[in-house]
Amino acid sequence: MRIRFALAGLVAALVATGAVQAQDFKPRIVRFGYGLVDNSNQGRAARMFAQEVEKASGGKMKVRAIGNASLGSDTQMQQALIGGAQEMMVGSTATLVGLVPEMAVWDTPFLFSNAKEADVVLDGPVGDKIKAKLEAKGMVGLVYWENGFRNLTNSKRPVAKLEDLNDIKLRVMQNNVFLDSFKALGANAVPLPFSELFTALETRAVDGQENPYNTIVSSKFYEVQKYLTVTNHVYSPWIVTVSKKWWDGLSAAEKKVLQDAAIKSRDFERKDTREEAAKALADLKGKGMQVNELSAAEANRMREKLVSVNAGIAKSVGQQTWDEVNAAVQQARNA
């Protein structure tokens, strides 16, 4: 009896000091897919995450960061996660709307007026609540990363007023909020996966697209797009997700390593993205892009058109989610 107690005490002490931790980790290969090129904010943060996981698991968990949509477009990777054929990915929340309609709330034009508001709301209770809805669909959401405020580019003409968009064939992300938003602005909006975008721009299958400065730089859109209009029309989050099938087979220690590393990668990624964005516009001008800002009057006209899609978003995400998100934004704004 006494010996047993003593042994139990010893085991407890070993667990507390982490000495038995190695047993909590199995050798694992984690395929972590993303859509952008290796030399992008997405790629840098994916590699940082990989290093953290490897270090914290004593080399047992090896994360393979695989970019360029080599494992598939956002929606293809989601399906692979759900089926258990791939362990992890990072991609746009916008491409998850077909699975979790509430995700569309992040696509609300002009929802956030700065990155700080986005951080507070996404990392707060309502951000968590929407992220948690992924579980019922076969994925576990870990953290939101920053894609960033989106701006408009095209190869036809400078867009200085609403009417300039009229005959522009514009690639949008694959969801109805983006489709409706740009239809409301008068553009000919076409949904297309990101992985097909460069070629579509190059062959002029589409005239334009919208993405944060960082992506316009890293994906070399400046090679095939002459005009950039500073619109900052919406803040786009990325979300890091895990296959639930795979996640459910992990030990508590393994889950914690992934969760902790995800938080570190989030903080790293946001800082890196913001630093890069701060100099990206100058970079793009240097590459020959013609950049224009909208006059206050034109910005307002666009804003009014875009805000007309809000009622539809509220309907598809549900009034309660809509209200909760907007209250959280107000609170962050007034803080």
Residues that bind ligand TK8 (CB under 6 A): 35-36, 74, 91-92, 147, 173, 194, 211, 215, 236
- Distance, in Å, from the CA atom of 305 to the CA atom of 320, rounded to the nearest integer, reads 24
Q: Of 82 and 89, which CB lies nearer to ligand TK8 in the complex structure?
A: 89
The amino acid sitting at 75 is: T
Token pair, residue 199, equals 């070629």
Smaller CB distance to ligand TK8: residue 220 or 301?
Answer: 220
Q: Which residues contact 38 (CB under 8 A, 6 or more apart)?
A: 67, 68
Closest CA to 68 of 78, 59, 60, 77: 77
Cβ-based nearer residue to ligand TK8, 74 or 324:
74
Q: Which is nearer to ligand TK8, 57 or 151 (CB)?
A: 151
Q: How far is the CB of 95 from ligand TK8 (least distance, A)?
A: 6
Nearest to 186 by CA among 213, 208, 207, 167: 167
Q: How far is the CB of 274 from ligand TK8 (least distance, A)?
A: 16
Q: State how far the Cα of 42 lies from the Cα of 169, in Å rounded to an integer.
A: 27
Which residue number, 147 or 181, has a Cβ lying nearer to ligand TK8?
147
When computed from its CA atoms, the radius of gyration of the chain, rounded to whole angstroms, is 22
**40-65 CB burial, b ≥16 within 10 A, e <16:** bbbbbbbbbbbebbbebbeebbebeb
Of the pair 67, 101, the CB lying nearest ligand TK8 is at 67
